[in-house]
Every structure is written in C-alpha cells, then in structure tokens.
Amino acid sequence: MSRSNSRFLPFWGTTAIITPIVLGTFADQTLALNLTRLGTYVSPDGEGAAEISAYDPISKNLFITNGSTNSIDILNISNPSVPSLISSINLNTYGAGVNSVAVKNGLVAVAIGSDPKTNPGTVAFFNTSGSFLNSVTVGALPDMLTFTSDGSKILVANEGEPEPLSISPTVDPEGSISIIDLSGGVGSATVNTADFTAFNSQKAALQAAGVRIFGQNGNATVAEDVEPEYIAISKDNKKAYVSLQENNALAVLDIDSATITDILPLGLKNYNTLGNGLDASDEDGGINIQNWPISGMYMPDSIATVEINGQTYIITANEGDDRGENERISDLTLDPTAFPNAAQLLEDENLGRLNVSSVDGDLDKDGDFDVLYSYGGRSFSIWDSNGNLIYDSGDAFEQITASLIPSLFNSEGEAADFDSRSDNKGPEPEGLTVGKIGDRFYAFIGLERTGGLMVYDITNPLNPTFVTYTRTEGDFAPEGVLFIPSIDSPTNQSLVITTNEVSGTTTIYAAATTPEPTTGLGLLILGIGGILTKVKKKSA
C-alpha cells in the first residue's frame, strides 16, 4: 500500500542549497564530527578489487572481497595511515564469485556464488590467518552475510537472481535466507533455510499492497520473484530485516524459527512535493533540481538497524535497481488526463530521458501510463520496526553535492561525467552503516556514483541532522561502508572505512567529535549558499 510521505521532509525547501557552517545539533552544545583520511590502500587488481570489508579487532586485520581475482585480500591496519597487504585467500576452489565477508570471534565467513549463478552457493569459513576450516551450501547467489551479535549464527541473503537478468528469464531460482548455526562449532555448522513459499498464495494481496512482483512476465511466484539483498539484525538477535530491493519491500525474519513472518511494502516517494525535487535529465544543460510529477520507489540496497530509547529503527540507503524492465519516459505513452502537459514533459531536457518502470504505472490497463515510477529515492530513510516511514532525506543529497562539489554533480566521480547520472538514480546511495560515537548515533551513507560519504546524526530518528560530506579524490564507487568503534580500533578512535569498487581502493577515516561554540538554544547553524535554479555547464 502506498504511503504518503509528505510529512517527512527536510526543513529546507526544494531549491535551497545548504552549506554547513556548524555541524550537528544538540540540546546543550554543538559538536562537529570530523572525518579525517588516515590512509588508502590501492589494489593493483583495479576495478572490482575492493567491494565489501570486515574487521578483526584481535589481529587488526581487514578482510576485503576482491571480485577481480575472486579472493579475500587481508590488510593489516595496525597503522591505518599505512594499510599493508599481508596475504590473499584464493576462493576459486569454493565458488565462482565472492560477494560478501564477515568476521566474528576470529572466524571469517565468505559468501561465494556459483557458475552459473542460479546454482546453490557456498559459505566458506577460514581463520584470520586465511586457513580453511569448513564450508556449507546455501541458496542461489548468496549476496550478503552477517553474524548475530553473539556469533552463534550467520544469516545469508540468497538473492536468487534470474538468468538472464530480465522479466522473462530462462531460470529463476527462489530467493531465501540461510541461517547457519555455529553453536556446535564451525566444523559442525548446520543450515536452516527460510523461504518465501508460504507467501505464494498471497501474491495478489501483496501486489495490491505495493510489493512489486512482476518476473517471468508476471507469472513468477512470490518465492521466485523476491531477491533478498541485505540483512540487518535487531539488537536482541530475535528478528532480522531483509531488503528486497527490486520488490521495493522489506522482509521480516524470525531467526529462531527460521521463518519469514512478513513482507512490508515501502511505498512511494512523491517527487512533486516540497523538499523532494530531483534533477531528472542528463541533457538539460546543467544542475536543475526541481519537482516533477513522478513517484520514486525507495528500493534500498544496504540497510542497518539501530536501537534508540528502546525502539528498533531500520536505516536504508535508497539506491534503486531494475531487472531490465526500465524504459525512458520519452518511449512511453502518457495518459492525457494524468499528464495534460505530456508533450512538454517528454522533452529530453525535462523528463524524457529519465528511466522509469515499464511494468508499473498503467493503472487502468489501457496501454498508457497514469503514474511514472522511477528507481530509488536518491536518499536515505528511517523506518520503524513495522515498516512505517518516519524520516527521508528528500533531495538533500543532490542539493548538498550541487553546493559543495558542483563540477561532480550526479557524475561517475569525475568532472568529465558531470550530470551524466541525473537520468538514472542520481548520486545513487548504496553503502550504509551506523555507528555510535560518545552518546550520539551517526549514519554514514556512501554515494556510489558521485562518490564520498554523507554523514547524518540520527540520535533523534524523527529529526536527523546533516553533519558533513567527505570525499577522497581517486575513490570511485563506494560499495561498502564499515564502522569500527573506538573500543576495537587500533588507534582507540572510531574509524570509518570505504571500499571503492571502480577504483579498487580502500580508504580509512578517523571519526572524532569536537565541541563547537553554540547558543543556549543549541541550534544547527546553516549557511544558505544561494537559491539553485539552473547552473549551466561550463564550456570546455
């Protein structure tokens, strides 16, 4: 069921550019959180060599998935300013493609896909020196895995992606969650599977509620169509929340019984309301953030959970993704009643270039589109434990990057690609983690296309505040974001690590708060950098 999100908007208007002067807001004092780059490891393997990382506080080693060589690279970060490669774990014996890694209590778990990817995958276990311990079989395309906080179980998101990647595939395996029980030791690991077959009979009701189920030209079962992407576990290890990215939904897992108990539709974002603008074209001559009559599907990739004041919240990076069903709006027929200015909208400098879904939006099935559904929210969101939206960052990511790095706006990370991603998910938030520093909670969100990290104070989940944006030259496409608390850090200060897929780089930041002068009201002070209407490209 679509939820109206107009209540949950940033406090600035659609066209205001915000430049932070004092960062963070507190009842008694204002603190600035500074991210200082300590060091970067540049893999010689290039693109794909740094995707997801995990950290072992005992050895001070970082374990990084290297998709270029199908291996785990082990970096020692005892001195984070000079991260050094110790060794690599070759995974070709265990599968065809490494997807994720997690570390707990000296145990390294690695999710590895098969060839073909529609076959069951593998989770392989190693010690922190890289010696093989055991392996188990899990579902097709294990895309992400994570330990429970006590280390007794590992949860694996088996995406079950179809082959080929289209709405009419030849093979479409079921998505599932594997629960690996390690209570008897890694050598005796057992696997339970939580599948979605119980929801097959509820397909029509789920679709009516807003869950996208459209594979196999509409003939896929719920279990075949869902594609578990990312898992976040509640603090008490009883529940897990699973992003079903292409389905624009979250699944709820009861861990002890290995049962999916609910599928929660995430609804739509109204890009035609204050604070929810976007730049919809890569051919509009520059930066042009404004409202348009389109609806955004949140479609989160990375998610995290955090417990604040006894309540569990789900934080999502709203990237967006498709399975080949996308079309440019200029190739669609728009309903004349819903879009009386269709001819104007279809122009390339307006909405004509924007990628939207071709399987959603023809509400009356008459062949034209009554609603336009775009991919991703270009934002991060906070949801309660029932899947109700309580905050969305609106168009802040585009507004902030337009102000601070205008030459890289909606780019692939270089000025030569300026504005090239406006027609397709914009800055594309993907990686996300949450960390606690002092008594404050922070969300760190990586922008896969524009690059860099957005940092928000989410201590008050109803009213998060933008803290800072940090970007390192040469880092392209942050895929994973990892937070290391000060208690586990080799420097005794909190660290944030980005693994950047396109550049093959791993960058380590120190995160520290410092007091700032403030008024008795403890207000967030912001500088208005101007009113953004349209910024023309500079000639070469």
Among the CATH numbers 2.40.50.140, 2.130.10.10, 3.90.199.10, 3.90.120.10, which is that of 16-320+376-536? 2.130.10.10
Q: List Cβ neighbours of 309 (8 Å cut-off, separation of 6 or more).
A: none
Confidence band, pLDDT 50/70/90 cuts, at residue 516? low
Q: Which long-range contacts (C-beta less than 8 Å, at least 24 apart) are formed by 145-149?
A: 145/100, 145/101, 145/102, 145/109, 145/111, 145/231, 146/102, 146/231, 146/232, 146/233, 147/102, 147/103, 147/104, 147/109, 148/233, 148/237, 148/255, 149/233, 149/235, 149/237
Report residue 31's pLDDT band, with 50, 70 and 90 as the boundaries: low
Q: What is the pTM of this model?
A: 0.91
DSSP letter assigned to residue 460: S
Structural domain boundaries of the chain? 16-320+376-536
Tokens of 494: 């909190």
Q: What is the pLDDT of residue 514?
A: 78
Count of Cβ atoms closer than 10 Å to residue 149 Cβ:
13
Report how far apart the first and last C-alpha atoms of the chain are (Å, whole number).
Answer: 48
Residue 32: its pLDDT value, please? 82
Average pLDDT, rounded, for the chain: 91
Number of H helices, E strands in the chain: 4, 37
pLDDT above 50 for 223? yes
pLDDT(17) > 50? no
The rounded distance, in Å, linking the Cα atoms of 96 and 391 is: 39
Structure tokens at 291: 């409202």
pLDDT band at 27 (very low <50, low <70, confident <90, very high): very low
Contact yes or no for 194/251 (Cβ under 8 A) = no
How confident is residue 522, by pLDDT bands cut at 50, 70 and 90? very low
What's the average model confidence in pLDDT over 208-232? 98
Residue 507: its pLDDT value, please?
98
* Average pLDDT score over residue span 96-123: 98
Determine the pLDDT at residue 445.
98
Q: Taking residues 465-487, what's their average pLDDT?
A: 97
Contact criterion met (CB below 8 Å) for 43 and 504: yes
Cα–Cα dist 152/119, whole Å: 27
pLDDT at 537 over 90: no
Say what the pLDDT of residue 15 is: 29
Share of the chain above pLDDT 70, in %: 89
Q: What percentage of the chain carries pLDDT values higher than 90? A: 89
